[in-house]
Amino acid sequence: MSTDDRNEGHRHDDETVVIGAGLEHLEESVRAQLRREAETVRPHDRLDAILAEAHGSDVSAPEADAGPTEGRHRWLLPVAAAALVAAAAVGVWGANRPSQAPIPAATQPTSASESPTSGTQSTVTESASSSPTSSVDVGPGPVATQTETVPVYYVGPRRDGSSSLVLFREFGTAQVAAPGDASAKASAALERAISSSPAGAGYRPLWQGVEVKKVAVTDAEIDVALSTGAKGLNASDGRIAVEQLVWTAQAAVGKGNLPVRFSLSDGGTTLAGGETSDHTYTRPSDDMAVWAILSPIWIDSPSRGESLPAGKVTVTGVASTNEANVQWSVMQGGKPVASGHTTAEVAAPQRGKYTFTTTALPAGDYTVKVFETSMKDGSVSAAATMPFTLK
């Protein structure tokens, strides 16, 4: 089925248009007038008069011989009549010619930030429209900002009570100092990532007391200057802490393969745990390596604390689960009020989109929980939750 608005398959042939059709009566009238005018012309010697006019003289004798209907520029009448016929013909042709839509200019590809529903097959579609080289210094003082939506990665347990920490992606608003600039957007996203966790979330803030000092994005890498390194983290938590900033910076810039280099303003070289600033970092490309870093369940919509009309709620996100199975439950006051299951586009270790719609729900505060259960004992092996409100 074609979705082309032009609907070329059902286009009728244009009818043949005869140029000048309908002008026969006008043409005969003009011809008759020209014949009458021609009969009144009396030839005489005009050479002297023409030469005199060319030299600026005023020769009127020959013009005096002309009858009362013959003026000095009588010869202009036939020309004017001919012009009238031509103009009328062109006007009729223009009014009746087939219409033709303008040819559209070549469409240039546009770029966008990380999509809320992206992530199919372990990839995340990320791009940013910005100058290839830019930098943003974060410092005190009033700065004109603009609110933008940014992707942010947070650290949390794979499931409740688990010691295995993974990354959860959420979309939130941030004040961007230079709207449209990749460095400014990355800086805003990183500041949000290292600050305290969103209200009601069970994420772990691993960068307490650390500030983002400067972010510079070039064609070669993303340079992130931090005030100091994270304190008191073991090797495992240190690795996931650095991954949090790498994935956030790359997502904000829209380039998942652009290396990230860190530096510390206090002169140190230890970023977090055993991770150091003497080399660049980037995302892994292997599916199993990605699965070990990212939560198997993301919830993209509704967003945290979003207010929606009472009724059915559509939930979307990304999953990497066994046989693509996804289960869900909607809770109010800690009690389930709706539940069900669906499947993602692909199974683990790849990542694919999922979507489902709840039954109609009345106004109130709710939390949706999307989870995976173990095929061994039925216990929850991975989960994500998101609070929302219906009005």
Segment 35-55, tens digit of pLDDT: 665 555 555 445 444 444 544
Is residue 372 over pLDDT 90? yes
Residue 77: per-residue pLDDT: 43
- The stretch 70-98 carries a mean pLDDT of 41
- The stretch 360-387 carries a mean pLDDT of 96
Is residue 11 over pLDDT 60? no
Residue 33: per-residue pLDDT: 61
Percentage of the chain with pLDDT > 70? 63
Residue 64: per-residue pLDDT: 36
Residue 317: per-residue pLDDT: 98
Is residue 336 over pLDDT 60? yes
Span of 27-41, 43-57, 175-189, 339-353 with lowest mean pLDDT: 43-57
Instruction: Tell me which H or E stretch contains 380.
Output: strand 380-390
Residue 198: which pLDDT band, with cuts at 50, 70 and 90? confident
The number of C-alpha atoms within 13 Å of 50 and in the hemisphere containing its C-beta is: 4
Is residue 390 over pLDDT 90? yes
Residue 271: per-residue pLDDT: 97
**Residue at token pair 């286009």:** 11
Residue 24: which pLDDT band, with cuts at 50, 70 and 90? low
- Of 142 and 218, more confident: 218
Beta strands in 165-268, from DSSP E residues, in sequence order:
165-176, 212-217, 222-226, 260-264
Structure tokens at 347: 């199974």
Is residue 138 over pLDDT 90? no
Residue 197: which pLDDT band, with cuts at 50, 70 and 90? confident
pTM (predicted TM-score) = 0.67
Cα diameter, the chain = 123
The number of C-alpha atoms within 13 Å of 66 and in the hemisphere containing its C-beta is: 16
- The stretch 138-151 carries a mean pLDDT of 74
- The stretch 172-193 carries a mean pLDDT of 90
Span of 53-67, 177-191, 345-359 with lowest mean pLDDT: 53-67
Calpha distance 302→288 (Å, rounded) = 28
| Mean residue pLDDT across the chain | 77
- The stretch 378-389 carries a mean pLDDT of 96
Structure tokens at 272: 């977090």
**Residue at token pair 């603009």:** 146
Of 364, 369, 367, 368, nearest in space to 390 by CA: 364
Is residue 307 over pLDDT 90? yes
**Residue at token pair 């009566």:** 25
